[in-house]
Structure formats: C-alpha cells, structure tokens
A = this chain, B = another copy of it.
C-alpha cells in the first residue's frame, strides 16, 4: 500500500505531526475527522499513526461515536493547567498542541495566522502545500456512492422544479400556477423544501429567466415568462455526509427564439464532446479546449460573450474544489469527481447551461447524472 500522503508530506520536511484547526464545516476538517462541531477544534496526526481530535468534554461522547479519528478531551490534553498560566487563548491552544505532538509540525495552509504565530513560539512549523485538498480530490468508492446519493436527490428536486414550469399556464405574458404568478422564488422554495425532506440543504439555487440567464451569477427572481430560457442550477449538500451534488438544466415553457434553440443544441453537443474527451491522463485544459474548439466551429466565441467560464470543477465536500477543468487544468486522475458544464451567454438574448457531474475513470467519464436534456416544455 502506498504511503499515506500526510505521512509522506511529514517525512519530506521532517515533521513529527500534522496539525489542523478549524470548525467541522471546514471541508479539510470534515474529511480528516468525519466530525462536525460548531466551534473550531484541533486535529493532529503523528507519523504512521491515525489522527486524533481534541474536543470539549461535552462533545467527547458524540465524537467517539461519529469521528473516524481518536478522541481526547481538552482536559486530557492538559488545557486546564495551561490556561492557569497562559491567558492568551491562541498561545494556550498552541502549548496544548505542542504537548501532544512534537518539535517539528506540518500545519494546514488554512490554519489561523494567530495560531501559526503561537505555534512558532513552541516548535519549528512548516506550512503544508495543500496535501489534504489533494487527497480530497480523489474519491474512494464509498465517497462516490455518497455523491451519487445526493445527485439522485438533486435530480428528483430538478424534476419537481421543471414540472412546476411545465405544468404552468400562461396569462398576460407570464407563467401561472395555482392561480398565482409562478416566480423563481416559488420554484426555488418548492425544490429546497423537497431537498430538506431528503436531508439536503440547498442555497441560492439559480432560477434565472430570459435576459437574466445571460449572467451566470444572477440567481433570479420574480415571475417566470414563457418562450424564454430558464436556467436551473442547483448544488445541494447532504447534511449527514457533507457531500455536494451540482447540476444544471435549461428549459423553456413554449418555443423560444430560434437563436436560443440553436445555442441549446450547441451546448448539448459541446457537453457530449467534453464528456467523450474525459478519462484519466487527459488534462482539464485539453477537455476545456475541445469544447472551445467545437463552439468556435459553430461560430460561438469564448471571450467576454459566448462560453465565458471553465468547463468544470471538482465536487466533493466543497461544491468547488480541485481539480480545475479549464485552461489551467492539469491531468485528470481516476477518482476525480467533476462537472461538465458548457454554457453560452449573450446579453440581451439569454443564456444556456447544461451541467452533469460524474467520476473520471481509467477509460471514461462515469456520468452520475441521468436527467434528460430537453429545452421546450
């Protein structure tokens, strides 16, 4: 078995232990500990040993049940004695960490600056170059199963949102549902509530209609209208596991402008090309550029208009994480979970985006997303 990447990073700089300090919402912390606590806590791992977390007494029992790390309490780590002499909380925490670990520490790049300075008074400290983030990028079969699960729940919510639009009626140029205007807010709220019932939290789901859809970061508000593109982009998090899904569909209630229909066909084909390009060893840059070239062949630019963002990104305990599937993207590796989300955006006309998520394997892109791609409802 290959050496644990954290052990390798410690060995390279002669560190006795690796240290992280964050709240459990922090993706690295959740990955290392599988424990979520509102307040920040300490994780450390000595070479060739499993990790340990230091938590308050009140959380110790839950941590023992939920965390994959060993658990000791702050009292067991000597904090009560330390704080009698050291009133600065960062220095006290640093002394507690030093007492449990060693003379040379490798610390997380996101360790708080104040804790780094306090640790420097106790030990030699090397700041790590993102080893945990790199470990997170390659998913185990278990992680892939968890991500598929949240993707399935997301597709179900997408189905609900699209059916609300598909079943709407049109009156005075806007969509109606149950006798009231059908707004972006109503569709978003219905999808979010269904996701909540499935244990998922979605925020800022994009439901942007008409000219708004030409701006990928407008989340959309107000009544939806027929014959215009409606971009639905959602990225819920499964609260129990911490893993995200990410998907986008674009629909139109009734036929849209022929230019929109042409853009849709181009984006759908671009997505197929992106997906076909992906396998371990191909770079994120080459994948992105294959899509740029295709768009160019169809007369669509990739500049301030047209295809204006990266083709994709990693998804896991963060909705945006390594790797990059864009101009700066390096080789894709088996186990990466990435999105493939070409889009075309023309201010004054509208935007189209289609986004699937799946895993990179030795031979192909294993697409988790089964949801159909149909523009006109």
Contacts and interface: CB of A to CB of B under 8 A. Distances in A.
Contact of A201 (B110, B112, B203): B203
A109 B117 CA distance: 9
A193 interface: yes
A178 interface: no
Interface residues of A, number: 32
A110 B113 contact: yes
Contact of A189 (B107, B129, B197): B197
B109 A111 contact: no
A197 B196 CA distance: 13
A108 interface: yes
Consensus secondary structure, chain A interface: mixed
Interface in A275-311: 309
Count identical subunits in the complex. 2
B217 A59 contact: yes
Interface string A58-85: 1100100000000000000000000000
A323 to B, nearest CB: 14
Interface in A89-125: 90, 107-117
A239 interface: yes
Contacts of A113: 107-113, 115-116, 127
A53 to B, nearest CB: 16
A39 interface: yes
A107 B115 CA distance: 13
A130 to B, nearest CB: 8
Nearest to A304: B57
Given A107-B113, A111-B112, A203-B239, 5 more contacts: A38-B319, A62-B217, A108-B113, A112-B113, A201-B201
